[in-house]
Structure 1
Amino acid sequence: MTIRNEELAAQFDELADLLEAQDVEYKPIAYRRAADNIREYPENVATLATQEGTNAVERIDRVGKAIASKVVEYAETGEIDELAEKRAELPVDMAALTSVEGVGPKTVGRLYEALDVRTLDDLETAAKNEKIQTVSGFGPKTESNILDNIDFARQSQDRQLLSDAAPIGAAIVDYLTQTVAVQRCEVAGSLRRWRPTIGDVDTLVASTDPQAVVDAFTDWPDTGRVIEAGTGKASVRTNDVRVDLRVVDPSEFGAALQYFTGSKDHNVELRNRAIERDLKVNEYGVFDISETDDPDAGQRVGDRIGGATETDVYDALDLPPIPPELREGRGEIDAAAANELPDLVTLDAIRGDLHLHTDWSDGRNSIEEMVEAATNRGYEYVCITDHAKGPGMVGGVGLTDDQLETQLSELRAVGDDAEIDVFAGVEANIGPDGRLSVADAVLEQLDCVVASPHAALDGDGTDRLIAAAEHPAVDIVGHPTGRQLNQRSGLDIDVPALADAAAKAGTAVEINANPRRLDLHGSAVQAALEQGATITIDTDAHGPESYDYLRYGVHTARRGWAEPSDVLTTWPTADVRAFLDA
C-alpha cells in the first residue's frame, strides 16, 4: 500500500505531541516543521526514501539526518521505534484528545498523569464528574469549555479533510480507468461537490462486467483492508479512509452519477420538480409516468426518457446542467429554471495571491523564492503578508513595527527586480476588541493590509471583524472565523452584517484556500456576495508548494456562487492596485 505524505507527516506530528506532553523542549518544533514540509513535498516522500535513501530525504527543507532516518524507517517497516516507545510511555489517543478545542499535548499529559485520561470517553467522563477542575491549573470554566467542545471533536473524527480525500479519489479513478471492464469512472458524493470535509470517498463505475470491476477494485494496491465485496458494490479502507464502489449499467451512469453526487436537499427538490411534470427521477433514469397505473411498482416503471448522462437528466426536467458545487439546495434549481445560474469562477481565471508568508515570520522560503515561484506559475502579482506580532502569535512568530519597516525596504528591492508586481503587506492580528496589532503609521506605508483573527476564537466575532473591516488601512479580512477544520469551529459571525460593512468600506473578505481552513465556507461566500462584498481567494502559502492550495479555494468560491468579477484575485494588476489604494 502506498504511504502518502499526509500519513507520513502525521507520524511526526504525533511524535511531536507526545514529546511536548512530556515537557521535552526543542524536538517538538523540529518534528512539526519537518512534518509540514513532508506533507507539502511535491513528490511521494516514502517512495523517495525507499528508492534513494536517507541522503535524498535530507534534501527536504528542515529534514535533517536523524529525521530522515526515521522517514526511511517508516517507509520500510511501517513503524518508527521512537514513536512506538513514546506511545507506550503515554498510551493516549492523542489525535482524538487534541481535537478538543482547548486541549493541547501538555494538557493531555497532565490529565493522563492525574486522572488516567486516555480517550475522548475518559475525558468526557472526567469533565462530567467535575474531576478536571481538581487538577492543579484547571478550573470550572476550563472544564466546562472542554465538555462543550467534545461533541464537535467526535464529529470531526469521522470526517476527512478535502485535501486528504481528493488525492485518494483521483488515485482510485486513475487506477480503475485502466481496467478493461471500466467504461467510465467518476467520484461522486460530497467529494465531487468539493465540501470542506468528506465522510467516505464514493466512486461510480459504468460497466457491463461488474464482477471484474469489483475484483480490480479490491486488488487496488492502495487497499489496506477489504470491508465488503459483492457483485456490484464493494468497500475498502486505505489510510483510514473508506472508499466505496458502485458499478452501474452504462445506460444508467448519468442518472446514477447525478443521484449519488447529491446533495440530499438538491435531489429532493429535483424529485419534486419531476413529480410536477408527471415524471420520476432516480438513480436509474428519468421516467415518464403520465400513463402508468402504478408508478411505485418498480424503480424503472414508466417510459425512460433520460439517464445515460447527467445532461440527459437535467434536460428531461427542462433544466441546464447544474455544476456539482452548487447542488446544495440553496436556490440552484430555481436559478437554473430561470436561466440565471452563475458563470462560476475557474482556476485559470486567478491572476495572483494576496496572502503569503516568508521566512521573515513563519514561512519556509525567502521573499525572492516566493516571488519566483509565483512568476513560474504565471501570476501577475503577489502580496507578501508576513505575520505581525500580536494576539495569537506564539513561539517568536510575528514582526514588530520596526521589523515591518525594515522588511518593507527589502520588499521594494525585490519588487524592482521582479518580473511580476510585488505588493508589500502584512497580516495584522485582530484583537478581541477589534483593534489591530500594528501601528497606523506603519499600516499606511504598506500596499495591502490583511487583518485576521488569531486569538479568542470562540463566541460572536461579528463586531470585532466589522471594526477591522472599517479600519481605513485594512484591505482584506483574512480567514474571518479563524476555524481549523476538524480542530476548532472558530468564531460565530453574522456574515451578511460583516459583508455589508466590508462592501461599504471597500474591504474584501477572504476565502482562505488552506484546506485546513477554507474560510469563508461556501454558503457564507454566497451570503457575502448577496451583500455586494468583494471576495478574494488566497492560499495563505507558507512555501511555494502551498500555491497548489488554490484549487480548494476556487472550488469553495464556486460553492458560494462566485463569478470571476466577484473575486479580487481574478482582476488585472491595475484594478487590484486601484482597489487597494481606494
Structure 2
Amino acid sequence: MSRNEEIAGLLEEFADLLEAQDVEYKPRAYRRAAENIRGSPADVEGLAMDGEAAVKDVEGVGDAIASKVVEYVETGEIEELEELRAELPVDMGALTSVEGVGPKTVGTLYYELGVETLEDLETAARAGEIQEVKGFGPKTEQNILDNIAFARQAHDRELLGEARPYGDRVRDYLADVPAAEEVELAGSIRRWRPTIGDVDVLVGTNDAEAVIDAFTDWPQADTIIEAGTSKASLRADGFQVDLRVVVPEEFGAALQYFTGSKDHNVTLRNRAIDRDLKVNEYGVFDVSEVDADDDQRAGERIAGETEEGMYDAVGLPWIPPEMREDRGEIDAAAAGDLPALVEEDDVRGDLHTHTEWSDGQNTIREMAAGAVERGYDYLAVTDHATGPGMVGGVGLSDAELSDQIDEVRAVDEDVEIDLLAGVEANIGADGSVSVGDDVLEALDVVVASPHVSLDGDGTDRLVTAIEHPEVDVIGHPTGRLLNQRSGIDVDVQRVAEAAADHGVALEINSDPRRLDLDGGAVKVALEAGATIAVDTDAHQPGTLSYVRYGVHTARRGWAAADDVLNASETAELRDFLDS
C-alpha cells in the first residue's frame, strides 16, 4: 500500500512551518511537490528505496525535497523538519483549521503572544490581545473567536481521505499475518463518513496473542497506547488505530456491531426483539425460551459467523455499510427496496478537471492520458474562469476559453477518449455566472461553482445559477472545506427540485477535502428527482483516483448507477448536456 499520502502530508507541514517563519518561495515548492506526490501513480516509498534520482522522476520534486523523502523513508524522520518543529512548537493543524488563520498568522501570533494551541488562541482573543498585534484588529480578533468552536470540533476528527490509506495499510498488513483468518475495517471508516475519529480494524482469529503481537510490531506504529488480550491501540503519524480480535465464529456479528452506526444498530436490535431474538456483538440468539438474563450469549445462537447471516436471521438482506445511518434503510431492506448502489467501475468519465491552463499541473493531453489509463470513455476539461474567488490570475478570460476550446478539439482527434470542452465558472453572490453567454454556448460542459461569500444562506444563489440555460452541473454546491469551513447553508430540497426541473446535475466533489454534496444531501436530492455527477476536481492525473471517495459518498446517499450522470454512456451524457 502506497505511503504517498503520508509523505505528502509531511511536505505540507514543512511548507506551513517555512511560511510561518516568513520564508519565501520554498513553501510553494514544497506544496507543489506534496500535491504531485499525493497524486502520483507511482509508490514514492518504492522510488525512495531506489535513491534520490528515482524520487526526482515525480514532477516538481527537486534535489532538496528528494533527499528529504529518502531520509524519511530510510530513518522515519526528517532532521530539518524536526528542527523546524522545535523552533515553532505550535499545533499547526489545529490553529490553521480556524477560518482566516494561515501559517503566517500562526507564526506571528506565536512570536508575538506565544500562541501554540487552540486554547492559547482563544485565551488571547478573549483577552483582546490579538487586536493589539500589528496587522490585526478588532474585526480579525472577533472572526477568530467566532470560528474557534468549529475548528475545535473539526480538529477532533480526521479527513477520510487521509485516514483511509492508513486503514487500508494496516488491514493489508494484518491480512498477511498467518494467525489472522479474516480482517476488515469497521466503524465510521467502513461507512465512508467524510471525517472519522479513530481507524477501527477487526480480526477473526483463534490466536489473539499472535495477532496483537504482530499489530504492535507494525513498522508504521509510533506509539503503542495499549495491548490487551482482545484489543490493542496504537498511534501512527497522528492517527489512532484500534484493533479488536474475536473468534472466527463471531466475526460477522462483531463486524456488524462495530461498523455501526449506533442508531442503525438500535433499530436493528428493536426489529430482533419483535421476533424474540437478541442481536449483539456475539451473534443473533433465539431468546424465546430464555428468562431475563445478563449473559450476552444466552439463548440459542442462530447467526454470527458472517455479517450476511446476521441480517438474514432478522429477515433482511445484507445492507451496505455506507447506508447504515438509520435513514430508513432497514424499512427499505424489509420491503425489498434497497437500491443496487453505484460502484466505482460504473463511472465512465469525469466532468470536472483542471489543467495547466488554470491551476492544474498537467497539459490537456496528459490529463486525457490519465483518463485513458483509468479506462474512461470521456473527460471534460473545465478550467477556472476569471471571476470572484480566483486569485493569482489563474482564471481564464472568455478569449482564453475560446482558444482552449480549439486546443481541446485538436487533442480530441488524437486520443482514445472523448474530450469535452468545458469550464468551471464562478457563481457570484447574486447567482450570476462569470462567463459570457456566447462562450458558454460553444462549450460542451458548464460547471458553475460558488467560490466566494461562502457564509449565510446560498439557496437563492444556487437556484439562480441553475436557471441559467447553459449551466449543466453545480460544482461543490456548498463550497465547504472539511475541517476548515462549513460553507453556505443550502435548502437541498429546493435546489434539487430546481435542478431536476432544469436538467442540471448536482455534483459530489470527490476531493476528500470537500466531499460536497455529502451523503445526506445526496439522498434528499435524489428523492427530489435530481441527477448527481461524481467528479474529482482533479488537478493532475493521479487525483482522478479521488473518484473512490465520491462514489462511496454517492452510496451513502443511496445512489444507483442510473442516478449518476457520468455513469452514462457518451451518447446519453451528450443528450443530457444538450437538453
State the TM bucket, normalised to the shorter chain.
Answer: over 0.9
Residue in 1 that maps onto 2:10: 11
Which shows bigger deviation, 65-74 or 307-316? 65-74
Map 1:23-102; keep pairs closer than 5 Å. 23-49=22-48, 51-102=49-100
Superposed CA RMSD: 1.7
Q: Distance in 2 between matches of 1:469 and 1:443?
A: 14
Task: State whether structure 2 residue 526 is matched by structure 1 residue 529.
Answer: yes
Alpha-carbon distance change, 254 to 85 in structure 1, aligned in 2, over 3 angstroms: closer
Give 1:376 deviation, angstroms: 2.4
The equivalent of 1:181 in structure 2 is 179
Tell me which residue corresponds to 2:110: 112
Which residues of 2 match residues 389-428 of structure 1 at below 5 A?
A: 389-428=386-425
- Distance of aligned partners of 1:29 and 1:497 in 2 relative to their CA distance in 1, 3 Å threshold: same
1:562-577 matches, cutoff 5 A: 562-577=559-574
**Cα deviation digits, residues 101-135 of structure 1 (max 9, x gap):** 11112222332343332221111111222222233
Name whichever of 111-120 and 25-34 sits farther off.
111-120
* Unaligned stretches of 5+ residues in structure 2: none
Given that residues 483 and 517 in structure 1 are in contact (C-alpha distance below 8 angstroms), is that contact kept between their aligned partners in structure 2?
yes
Residue 535 of structure 1 aligns to which amino acid in structure 2? I
CA distance in 2, matches of 1:11, 1:377: 28
**Displacement of 1:302 after TM fit?**
1.2
Determine helix, strand or coil for the equivalent of 1:484: coil
The 5 Å alignment of 1:461-480 reads 461-480=458-477
**Residue correspondence of structure 1 range 315-334 to structure 2 within 5 A:** 315-334=312-331
Matched residue, 1:125: 123
Q: Counterpart of 1:14 in structure 2: which amino acid?
A: E
Please state whether the residue corresponding to 1:417 is helix, strand or coil.
coil
In structure 2, the CA distance between the partners of 1:169 and 1:437, relative to structure 1 (3 Å rule), is same
Q: Which amino acid aligns with 1:336?
A: A
Aligned to 1:355: 352
8 A Cα contact 2:509 2:536, kept in partner:
yes
Other-structure match for 2:230 = 232
Match of 1:285 in 2: 283
Is 1:484 the counterpart of 2:481? The answer is: yes
Distance 1:78 1:4 in 2: 12
Residue by residue over 1:450-502, the C-alpha shift from the partner in whole angstroms, topping out at 9 and shown as x without a partner, is 01111222222212111111111110000111111222222221111111111
The residue type paired with residue 96 of structure 2 is: T
Q: Select between 253-262 and 427-436 the one with higher mean Cα deviation.
A: 427-436
Paired residues of 2:532 and 2:565 also in contact (CA < 8 A): yes
Is 1:432 matched with 2:429?
A: yes
The one-letter amino acid paired with 1:530 is E
Q: Deviation at 1:82?
A: 4.0
Q: CA deviation at 1:44?
A: 3.3
Q: Give deviations 1:155-189, integer Å, cap 9, x for gaps.
A: 22222221222222222222222222222111111
The residue number in structure 2 matching 1:552 is 549
Q: Does 1:263 align with 2:265?
A: no
1:197 to 192, 195, 199: 195
Report whether the alignment pairs 1:442 with 2:439: yes
Q: Which amino acid aligns with 1:6?
A: E
- 1:25 & 1:397 partners in 2: Cα distance? 20
Q: Structure 1 counterpart of 2:162, which letter?
A: D
Q: Partners of 2:100 and 2:371 in 1: how far apart?
A: 36
Aligned residues: 579
- The answer on whether the counterparts of 1:353 and 1:382 sit within 8 Å (CA) in structure 2 is yes
Contact 1:430 1:437 in 2 (8 A): yes
Q: Distance in 2 between matches of 1:264 and 1:23?
A: 47
Cα offset, 1:3, TM superposition: 9.2
Change (3 A) 1:518 1:46: same
Out of 318-327 and 40-49, give the one that drifted further. Answer: 40-49
Query: Is the Cα contact below 8 Å between 2:440 and 2:446 reproduced in 1?
Result: yes
Distance 2:280 2:372 in 1: 48
Worse-matched range after superposition: 62-71 or 421-430: 62-71
Give the counterpart letter for 2:414 in structure 1.
D
Structure 1 residue 84: Cα displacement: 4.1
- Partners of 1:5 and 1:418 lie apart in 2 by 29
The 1-side partners of 2:42 and 2:2 are apart by 12
Change in 2 beyond 3 A, CA 1:113/1:221: closer
SS in 1 for 2:180: coil
Q: Is the 8 A contact 1:3 1:75 kept in 2?
A: no
Query: Counterparts of 2:207 and 2:64 in 1: how far apart (Å)?
Result: 50
Over 3 Å counting, the alpha-carbon distance change for 1:19 and 1:399 in structure 2 is same
Counterpart code for 1:340: D
Q: What is the CA deviation profile of residues 516-568 of structure 1, one whole-angstrom value per residue up to 9, with x for unaligned ones?
A: 11111100100110110000001111111111111111111000000111100
Q: Percent identity?
A: 67
Cα pair 2:307 2:318 within 8 Å, conserved: yes
Contact 1:47 1:75 survives alignment (8 Å) = no
- Structure 1 segments unaligned to the other structure (5+ residues): none
Note the C-alpha offset of 1:89. Answer: 4.3
What is the CA–CA distance in structure 1 between the aligned matches of 2:275 and 2:330, rounded to whole Å?
A: 15
CA distance in 2 between counterparts of 1:340 and 1:463 reads 34
What is the deviation of 1:77? 3.8
Deviation at 1:88, TM superposition (A): 4.4
CA distance in 2, matches of 1:124, 1:260: 36
Distance 1:59 1:548 in 2: 20
Moved more, 298-307 or 261-270: 298-307
CA distance in 2, matches of 1:47, 1:86: 27
Counterparts of 2:69 and 2:498, CA distance in 1: 49
| 1:548 alignment partner, SS class | helix
Q: Which amino acid aligns with 1:76?
A: E
2:138 aligns with 140
- Aligned residue among 274, 293, 298 for 2:295: 298
Q: Assess, with a 3 A threshold, how the Cα gap between structure 1 residues 14 and 174 changes in structure 2: closer, same or farther.
A: closer
Q: What whole-Å deviation, never above 9, does each CA across 1:375-395 have from its counterpart, x for those lacking one?
A: 222211110001112222122
Distance of 1:8 and 1:549 partners within structure 2: 17
Q: Distance in 1 between matches of 2:83 and 2:177?
A: 43
1:127 match: secondary structure = helix
Determine if contact 1:165/1:241 at 8 Å carries over to the other structure: yes
CA distance 1:87–1:186, shift in 2 (3 Å): closer
The two structures have a TM-score, normalised by structure 1, of: 0.96
**Quick check: 2:39–2:541 contact (8 Å CA) kept in 1?**
no
Measure, in 2, the Cα distance between the counterparts of 1:288 and 1:396: 68
Give the C-alpha shift of residue 287 in structure 1: 1.1
Q: Secondary structure at the match of 2:116?
A: coil
Q: What is the distance in 2 between the residues matched to 1:427 and 1:13?
A: 26
Please give the secondary structure, in 2, of the residue aligned with 1:118.
coil
- 1:454 aligned partner, one-letter code: H
Which whole-Å CA distance do the structure 1 matches of 2:105 and 2:473 have between them?
35
**Which shifted more, 68-77 or 149-158?**
68-77
Secondary structure of 2:390's match? coil
Cα distance, 1:81 vs structure 2: 4.4
Conservation of the 8 A alpha-carbon contact between 2:99 and 2:485? yes
Residue of structure 1 in register with 2:451 after alignment: 454
What amino acid is aligned across from residue 136 of structure 2 in structure 1? Answer: F
One-letter code of the match for 1:94? M
State the Cα deviation string for residues 178-201 of structure 1 (Å, max 9, x = none).
Answer: 222222111111111111112111
